[in-house]
Amino acid sequence: MPLYFCKRTMKFKYDVLVIGGGHAGCEAATAAANMGARTCLITMDMNKIGQMSCNPAVGGIAKGQIVREIDALGGYMGLVTDATAIQFRMLNRSKGPAVWSPRAQCDRGKFIWEWRTILDHTDNLDIFQDQADELLVKDRKVLGIRTIWGIEIYARTVVITAGTFLNGLMHIGKRKVEGGRCAEPAVHHFTESITRHGITSERMKTGTPVRIDRRSVHFEDMEPQPGETDYHQFSFFGPQRKLPQLPCWTCNTNEEVHEVLRSGLADSLYSMVRSKVQDHVIALQ
Ligand SMILES: Cc1cc2nc3c(=O)[nH]c(=O)nc-3n(C[C@H](O)[C@H](O)[C@H](O)COP(=O)(O)OP(=O)(O)OC[C@H]3O[C@@H](n4cnc5c(N)ncnc54)[C@H](O)[C@@H]3O)c2cc1C
């Protein structure tokens, strides 16, 4: 590990520093390291590397094509998806092959460990569990970062892939809770640190369905939707899917459900409008 000390601070020096071990950060870190750059991936929780924030699904329209493009460029997302897929479907088959769209449901826990194994076996790559707190800049040139523990990591290139964590805010109905995603803290000071240097920060809205307890589901009233058993997968390089494939289950809404949705619509719009106002306040600060 490239390390040197000054009187009071522990310092590290790399070619490339990647902040955030999500999907984007893992690809960025492995790409840099595989090209021979001494690379450090700093992330808040090493046990949640490549965590699937929402549905444990990869692909679908547009994202499925991107995953295959990443695969063609030598990235890992397709390989990790195939290795952990528990259901695969090619969407849009009723249309022409140009718009066919691969989508896999994955085992969320295995997805994390598959990524972690790849990172652990990548030469030139160190993983550091900490939180970037301050961007170090001199004469408008990025030098590195300081972490919340006061450690300084210098690099010729700094890649920020902080996902939904910068000033992250979660909305459930009328309630708002600060957080990067459920059970993980938002990152505050770092956002101010990067915006101070003229990098604009915006928040995108995302949404996730509630998690349900399978013991409370009436499977007898639902329709099984098996996965496809033909050869399709994400990566053109790796072995076939290896985990046992499981069905999904579908059901339809009815008038009663529509009424519940209608009665909550105003609250949903209220929370979105509040979120927009808050974004403007942050932008003005
Ligand atoms: C509630 C929710 C629902 C979603 N639903 C979907 C969906 O249905 N389909 C879909 O395709 N996508 C969905 N997404 C988006 C999904 O999160 C992204 O596609 C994907 O996770 C983005 O990857 P990423 O690497 O950019 O960021 P993330 O996966 O968010 O990873 C960011 C990483 O950066 C780390 N980090 C952040 N700040 C710092 C710091 N200062 N120092 C060190 N580490 C830091 C975090 O710990 C985390 O590991 C959803 C996201 C959320 C939050």
What's the predicted TM-score (pTM) here? 0.90
Which sign does the torsion angle of CA 46, 50, 55, 57 carry?
negative
What digits encode the pLDDT tens for the residues 169-198?
998 878 899 999 888 999 999 999 999 998
CA dist., res. 196 & res. 131, Å (int): 18
What region does 239 belong to: left with phi over 0, alpha with psi -120 to 50, or beta? Answer: beta
Percent above pLDDT 70 for the chain: 91
CA dist., res. 67 & res. 63, Å (int): 6
What digits encode the pLDDT tens for the residues 17-58?
999 999 999 999 999 999 999 999 999 999 999 999 888 999
25 pocket-lining for ligand 1 (C-beta < 6 Å): yes
- Residues 99-124, mean pLDDT to the nearest whole number: 96
Tell me the CA–centroid distance for residue 56 and ligand 1, in Å: 13
Tell me the CA–centroid distance for residue 187 and ligand 1, in Å: 12
59 pocket-lining for ligand 1 (C-beta < 6 Å): no
Tell me the CA–centroid distance for residue 53 and ligand 1, in Å: 6
12 pocket-lining for ligand 1 (C-beta < 6 Å): no
Burial of 16 (0-12, 13-18, 19+ CB in 10 A): buried
pLDDT-wise least confident of 3-7, 30-34, 208-212, 256-260: 3-7
DSSP lists the bridge partners of residue 184 as 181
Of 40, 54, 192, the one to substitute when testing ligand 1's pocket (max ligand atoms within 8 A of C-beta) is: 54
Q: In the structure, what pLDDT confidence band is assigned to residue 8 with cuts at 50, 70 and 90?
A: low
Residue 28 neighbours by CB under 8 Å, 6+ apart: 18, 159, 161
187 pocket-lining for ligand 1 (C-beta < 6 Å): yes
Core vs surface per residue 72-81: b (16+ CB within 10 A) or e: eeebbbbbbb
**Average pLDDT value over all residues in the chain:** 89
Question: Is residue 271 pLDDT above 70, yes or no?
Answer: no
pLDDT at 284: 34
225 pocket-lining for ligand 1 (C-beta < 6 Å): no
Q: Which residue is closest in CA terms to ligand 1's atom 4? A: 54
pLDDT at 3: 57
pLDDT at 273: 57
- Residues 233-259, mean pLDDT to the nearest whole number: 91
CA dist., res. 71 & res. 87, Å (int): 19
CA dist., res. 142 & res. 152, Å (int): 13
DSSP lists the bridge partners of residue 144 as 136, 154
Distances (CA, A) of 235 to 64, 74, 158, 195: 11, 10, 28, 37
Which sign does the torsion angle of CA 240, 88, 114, 203 carry?
positive
CA dist., res. 115 & res. 52, Å (int): 12
